[in-house]
Structure 1
Amino acid sequence: MPREAEPSLNERAFVLQALQEDIRIDGRALDEFRGIDLKFGPEYGVADVRLGKTRVIARISAEVTTPFPDRKFDGVFTIVTELSPLASPAFEVGRQTEQEVILSRILEKAIRRSNALDTEALCLIAGQAVWSIRADVHVVDHDGGLVDASCIAVMAALKHFRRPDATVSGEGHLTVFTMAERVPVPLSLMHDPLCVSFSFYHGGEVSLVDATLQEEQLREGELIISMNRHGEVCQLAKLGGVPVDALTLLSCTNTALVKVKDLTALINKKLDEDAKRRNLGGLMTELSAENER
């Protein structure tokens, strides 16, 4: 099975010695993220996130489908991940690696199971027709921090996405309008969960945020905290390795809250900039007035 090239003995010793002295190879502080660049595509619901050299693209799509028999009033929300071989030699087409399984489960618990998306608002006709929202996550470049970058991409894409407007008339007659006929409708989000990953070294004495691929290969343990800007913890994922004591966990949670607030502010800022570029005061205002009439 293909694998990433592992650091040499000299690289390992150098990086670990530097971390023991609170120094990172790229010059960042231990609790500092790499530079984040967020861009939206020409279509609604496409978010391109660059976290250092890591790049993740999320795309949201919607279609009308029948609900699950046991959830007649809820829409459907699924998250699908794809790790391209172009991103890393460790990824193969058609064969899920352990990293892809972990990424899928973390995103599933952090976003879908935390009810970030209001699925009841996706219901069109109870038991007959609901919106099915699908988030496709494509990893284009991999240099560590996949979970954090993917979560940012999915949440940004969900907030950016607009689904077609639809009405129900008569005896269950459903009409779905095109974007030229009616202004598209944003999704109803309950909260904005984001992930912050911590890596541990030297028996858990040293912890850092947003590890690069090289730092991930040398870590002794990992902790992923999912929370929203209100400080509500959605998930704690401790993926083996060295144990983490209560004080360290509390410190990581406090650090994660600061990072989540900063990331949420960044996403909202980029959304505002994108809205201005799309000239919402022109065509969209005209379409909105048409809706009201």
Structure 2
Amino acid sequence: MDINAYIQSGILELYVAGSLSEEENKDVHAMMKKHPEVLQEVLDIEAAVIKLTSATAPKRKHTILENIQKTLGFDADVKVIFISKYNWVTYAGWAASVVFATGLFWMVNQNNQLQSDIEVAKSSQTLLETQIANSKNSLKEANTLVSVLRDDAIAKIPLAGQGNFANTYAKVYWDKQAQRIFLDAQGLPEPPEGKVYQVWSLKMSPLTPTSLGTIDNFATDANKIFEIANNNDSEAFGITLEPAGGSESPTMEFLYTLGVVS
């Protein structure tokens, strides 16, 4: 439908005047809901009518009456009853309803927008707090690693690649006093899906492996340095690739790196 042609048809003026049938009023009301420009036109017409009637009616009512009486030849004592062509009470009710509905629609939209802005602000604040916390944790970890690297009492054990994995490597920093190691696994590739790296403490004679656990967050850790508890009297360290969840003993054909404590 050509909305401009609809607006120019004059039906909106008749709607404002209250001279349409109930069915026609429903049609116009539906068009106002569907097309904002139709609603705006109705509001403009109503504003113009209100402005016109308020400007002329109070000041000229008596003059108009006198002119009509004079033209028709009535005496001044004859009472003239004016019957309005349009039902202005109905019109006023429709106008009030339209204005109220428009205002209510605007208020609902504003409230929804405000709620949306509040949720975005909350999300942004939560994200910022998380980033700050992560930064603090990262700084603490960095300071810890620096102190480990600079401590001469910390044993440094390079782990060389083995067999088919000769191009891999890792390094263990063993803090015996704190009974922990820091494993630098930057030289290991990301494990296949369903597999994890498992770290072993080894006694060499006889060969006795003790699991130090699996590295479950290898893929998501950015610096690939992992702190692992170790209260064993280790003589070597090794890393194998195992099924998710780890194994009770190392799978030697998937021994990636091995290093002996000097």
TM-score range, shorter chain: under 0.3
User: What is the TM-score when the length of structure 1 is the normalising length?
Assistant: 0.21
Looking at CA atoms only, which structure, 1 or 2, has the larger radius of gyration? 2
- Which protein has the bigger helix share? 2
Bigger relative CO (Cα 8 Å, ≥ 6 apart): 1
